[in-house]
Amino acid sequence: MNTEECYMCERVATSKEHVPPLCLFPEIKDTKGINFRKNLITVPSCDIHNSKKSDDDEFLMLSLSGLIKNNPIGNFHQLTKSNRSLKRKSKDFLEKQILRNHILKKVKTTDGKFQMVSIGNPNTERLLKCLEHIAYGVYYQEFKERFEGEIRMVLEFIEYHDDNMQTMKKFLKKRFAGEKELNKEIKGGNLLVFYYHFLEPDNFGLIGMRIVFYGTAEVYFSFKGNNAKEPFDLTLKLMESGIKTTMNIDGEEFVFNK
Ligand SMILES: [Zn+2]
């Protein structure tokens, strides 16, 4: 009898959940035989936390594969599977669910060509919910236990209106870039689609993780376990209280509440 617990709660697991969702990985029928669906991560899941029961997976695929900075696999996935999926939706699905207030704009790509892109406000709340599931799943995979505590996220590919969030993005990018050289433990069976790496816990027991989708779409996570010491993040507390706070990495200064 299977008495494994779910990766997100105490219920008994009844199935396996792909982390990240299977639909992010191109299908062989689209890739002329290249297999991007090998060595995928699965975690035990209860009925409630199996996202197959919602359309969140599809939402996530459409949100991530449409990003202009993506590598060719992400762009290709958008042209094949994501487009097929969009065609099955109502006309206003993109507008209502994925990218609000969106407009089509002609932009120049890095190779000098022009491309029509959709620009608008991403459905961040839903995106965060999907990414939180992935964070729980990857944590389970890494530590072989369920994470209990608080998860925070910063999405590198979103332009935040808040100056502090914009600075935080740059700060985290630099922080993880430095760490990458020390610790080359990048994990994921199909790096062009998805990979992740963890940082060593800091003095307060806070664990950092970076996930990269399609080579460019980065998300930074922090895991504050229930047994992490207080203050959870002193710098963050100062920042949130509006006090001018400077953080320094390798001589580069990041100033919050300028
Ligand atoms: Zn569950």
CA of 14 to the centre of ligand 1 (A): 9
Using alpha carbons, select from 227, 206, 209, 228 the residue that is nearest to residue 219.
209
pLDDT given for residue 121 in this prediction: 75
CA of 246 to the centre of ligand 1 (A): 40
DSSP state string for 77-105: HIIIIIHHHHHTS-TTHIIIIIEEEEEEE
Cβ-contact 223, 147 below 8 angstroms = yes
Predicted TM-score (pTM) of this structure? 0.84
What's the start-to-end Cα distance of the chain, in Å? 58
Q: Where are the domains of the chain?
A: 15-124, 150-256
Element (H, E) at 107: strand 99-108
Element (H, E) at 190: strand 187-190
Residue 48, SS3? coil
CA of 247 to the centre of ligand 1 (A): 38
Q: How much of the chain is helix, strand and coil, in % rounded to 5?
A: 35, 30, 35
Q: 153 phi and psi, to 5 degrees?
A: -135, 145
Using alpha carbons, select from 115, 112, 118 the residue that is nearest to residue 98.
118
CA of 215 to the centre of ligand 1 (A): 30
CA of 80 to the centre of ligand 1 (A): 32
pLDDT digits (tens, 9 = 90+) for 72-128: 888 888 888 888 888 888 777 777 777 777 677 777 766 777 766 666 777 888 889
CA of 226 to the centre of ligand 1 (A): 18
CA of 75 to the centre of ligand 1 (A): 33
DSSP state string for 121-133: EE-HHHHHHHHHH
pLDDT > 60? residue 220: yes
CA 93, CA 113: separation in Å to the nearest integer?
28
pLDDT digits (tens, 9 = 90+) for 23-40: 999 998 888 888 999 899
Label residues 211-241 b or e (16+ Cβ within 10 Å = b): bbbbbebbbbbbbbbeebeeebbeebebbee
CA of 19 to the centre of ligand 1 (A): 14
pLDDT > 80? residue 239: no
CA of 50 to the centre of ligand 1 (A): 7
Using alpha carbons, select from 234, 232, 258 the residue that is nearest to residue 167.
258
CA of 127 to the centre of ligand 1 (A): 19
Cβ-contact 152, 165 below 8 angstroms = no
CA 20, CA 133: separation in Å to the nearest integer?
9
Token couple for 89 = 């939706």
CA of 94 to the centre of ligand 1 (A): 29
